[in-house]
């Protein structure tokens, strides 16, 4: 459990489940190899055809795997996104040797850009690595990101955290007075597998104990259709759980509809990293909270974030009476198409550096009224 997280919209995070089965920020292996094939076929690389990247990775992984004396639980002889990422250097070198330097560089770039999820990056660095079989694996993580793993007891531990109702937050004054806000599932997507429903039901009971009811639990998923079904199973989410999903571009806007169908007292939308202008297609009916943010990361790997996109969403929220929270401007913010840089280079999350029209960090009315009778 991460205490005092730097994430601007919560106090802590908790992960009853670590790992994830992927999304647009962590591509499936077949999507990555197909993209490599398409790029190298377009480049007219001699001898490259559909399926070549998969075959090369498959052979390379098998070769590396066979050298491991005693494979661990996370050493897997299969084309997985984790293996692709760990072997990207060797793969690109082979491609460069046999098909030219440009082909190798393109393949390497495609792989790097296929992986943007922060939780996945931490797992890649801390979990099993087929290329470094003797590397010490960090406790508390899934063996590899795709091996979604339950961690019983974490919700209970989080529920025992001290009560923050009425308390100031020195580094996050916009949260002053609110109950403790606990972000559920920042190190994976707990709703990756429906098989975990029974486990999650048990874990969720800790949000409804005397301890757990003191806090607000903000549960984020990229699988709102699974969250909707889970909500049905438990007879609707209790009023101290905010059901949330993420939209990164127009192509994932359908998640909002699924979230709307989730039986919850309060619903939140995270538009981070935002890769396209969505305001004109965003229906906020039934949505109580919108978080907006540009993409973090190395400059070459992130998309620009025109702050006009954030301002348009802010206007929409104003018009529809929805709480709006600007989390960060990301690594490449632009205004009037002009790029500008901030001291907080990687994330652009220090609002003291922003123009005043951007400095808005609100929470849903339900957060403010929850337990207010106790004050
Ligand atoms: S943890 Fe979230 S961002 Fe990362 S791959 Fe899973 S769904 Fe995507």
With a 6 Å cutoff on the Cβ, whether 189 touches ligand 1 is yes
pLDDT at residue 375 is higher than 90: no
pLDDT at 300 over 90: no
The chain-wide mean pLDDT, for the chain, equals: 96
Confidence of residue 118 (pLDDT cuts 50, 70, 90): very high
Would the CB of 142 count as within 6 Å of ligand 1? no
Residues of 65-74 as b/e, b for ≥16 C-beta within 10 angstroms?
beeeeeebeb
pLDDT in tens, 286-295: 999 999 999 9
The full DSSP string for 223-287 is -HHHHHHHHHHTTS--TTEEEEEE--SGGGTHHHHHHHTS--SEEEEEE-S--S--GGG---TT-
Rounded CA-CA distance 286/182 in Å is 22
Looking at residue 266, what is its pLDDT?
Answer: 98
Per DSSP, the three-state class of 20 is coil
Which whole number is the average pLDDT over 103-123?
96
Nearest ligand 1 atom, CA 25: 8
C-beta 117 within 6 A of ligand 1: yes
- CB count within 10 Å of CB 44 equals 7
Q: Does the structure show a pLDDT above 70 at 209?
A: yes
- pLDDT confidence of 359, banded at 50, 70, 90? very high
Query: Can you tell me the mean pLDDT for 94-116?
Result: 96
Is the CB of 295 inside a 6 Å radius of any atom of ligand 1?
Answer: no
- Output the pLDDT for position 301: 86
Q: Which residues lie closer than 8 Å to 98 by C-beta, 6 or more apart?
A: none
> CATH number for the 2-21+148-374 domain, one of 3.30.160, 3.30.70, 3.20.20, 3.40.50?
3.20.20
Atom of ligand 1 nearest to the CA of 26: 5
Assign 271 a pLDDT band (cuts: 50, 70, 90): very high
CA–centroid distance for 140 within its chain: 18
**Cα 62 to ligand 1 centre (Å):** 27
Spacing, Cα 97 to ligand 1 middle (Å): 34
Verify whether ligand 1 is closer than 6 Å to residue 222 (CB atom): yes
What pLDDT is stored for residue 248 in this prediction?
98
Residue with tokens 């690109």: 92
Residue 298: what pLDDT?
A: 87
| pLDDT digits 0-9 by tens, 313-334 | 999 999 999 999 999 999 999 9
Q: Is the pLDDT of residue 1 over 70?
A: no
pLDDT band per the 50, 70, 90 thresholds, residue 136: confident
Q: Where are the domains of the chain?
A: 2-21+148-374, 29-126
* pLDDT per position as a tens digit, 19-44: 999 999 999 999 999 999 999 999 99
C-alpha span between 83 and 29 (Å, rounded): 9
**pLDDT value at position 2?**
53
Residue nearest to atom 1 of ligand 1 (CA): 188
């Amino acid at each position: 459990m991460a205490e005092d997280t730097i994430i601007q919209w919560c106090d802590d995070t908790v992960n009853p489940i670590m790992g994830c089965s992927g999304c647009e920020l962590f591509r499936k292996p077949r999507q990555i190899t197909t993209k490599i094939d398409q790029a190298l076929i377009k480049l007219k690389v001699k001898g490259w055809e559909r399926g070549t990247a998969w075959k090369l990775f498959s052979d390379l992984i098998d070769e590396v795997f066979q050298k491991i004396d005693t494979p661990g639980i996370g050493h897997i002889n299969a084309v997985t996104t984790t293996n692709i990422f760990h072997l990207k250097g060797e793969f690109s070198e082979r491609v460069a040797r046999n098909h030219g330097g440009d082909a190798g560089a393109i393949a390497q770039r495609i792989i790097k850009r296929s992986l943007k999820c922060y939780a996945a990056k931490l797992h890649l660095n801390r979990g099993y690595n087929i290329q470094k079989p003797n590397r010490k694996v960090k406790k508390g993580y899934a063996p590899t990101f795709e091996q979604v793993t339950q961690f019983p007891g974490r919700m209970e531990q989080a529920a025992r955290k001290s009560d923050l109702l009425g308390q100031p937050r020195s580094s996050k004054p916009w949260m002053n007075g609110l109950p403790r806000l606990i972000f559920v599932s920042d190190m994976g997507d707990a709703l990756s597998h429906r098989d975990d429903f029974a486990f999650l039901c048990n874990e969720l009971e800790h949000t409804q104990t005397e301890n757990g009811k003191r806090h607000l639990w903000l549960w984020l998923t990229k699988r709102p259709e699974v969250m909707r079904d889970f909500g049905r199973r438990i007879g609707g989410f209790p009023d101290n759980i905010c059901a949330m999903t993420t939209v990164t571009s127009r192509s994932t806007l359908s998640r909002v509809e699924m979230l709307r169908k989730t039986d919850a007292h309060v619903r939140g939308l995270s538009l981070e990293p935002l890769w396209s202008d969505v305001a004109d297609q965003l229906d906020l009916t039934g949505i109580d909270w919108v978080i907006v943010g540009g993409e973090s990361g190395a400059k070459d790997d992130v998309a620009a974030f025109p702050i006009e996109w954030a301002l348009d969403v802010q206007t929409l929220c104003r018009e529809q009476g929805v709480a709006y929270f600007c989390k960060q401007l990301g690594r490449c913010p632009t205004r009037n198409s002009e790029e500008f840089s901030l001291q907080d280079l990687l994330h652009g999350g220090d609002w003291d550096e922003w123009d005043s029209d951007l400095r808005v960090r609100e929470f849903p009315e339900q957060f403010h009224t929850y337990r207010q009778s106790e004050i």
